[in-house]
Amino acid sequence: GQQVMQIPQYQHVQEGEDFTTYCNSSTTLSNIQWYKQRPGGHPVFLIQLVKSGEVKKQKRLTFQFGEAKKNSSLHITATQTTDVGTYFCAVNTGNQFYFGTGTSLTVIP
């Protein structure tokens, strides 16, 4: 299956600080998706990026797809305790979805 790495694996931030997670692939991706999984919950779809260099925003979340379509990032501005969870990138190959290794975010009040 598709290999997608994420860094960092864990991140602890003070509430109000920014947070970024990166997703990297060795191959060119047709698209990339981002999911959030709250502790004890199941993954929830956030967004899909398709175009080279694409940037999308959802309130305090900014998603970017690299120019070469091999990497992506999720940036959260001014984190809140509600942002706690694990953020996964995922690749949709058309028939299957392959998930990255995930970044676990802890927000310290």
- Of 23, 61, 85, 102, the residue at the interface with other proteins (CB under 8 A) is 102
Q: Is 42 in the site for other proteins (CB under 8 A)?
A: yes
Measured distance CA(45)–CA(89) in Å, rounded: 10
Measured distance CA(1)–CA(77) in Å, rounded: 33
Which of 48, 77 has the CB closer to other proteins? 48
Q: How many residues does the chain have?
A: 109
- Antiparallel, parallel or unpaired: β 10-14 and 103-108: parallel
Size of the site for other proteins (CB under 8 A): 22
Residues 54-83 that bind other proteins (CB under 8 A): none
- Of 65, 88, 91, 105, the residue at the interface with other proteins (CB under 8 A) is 88
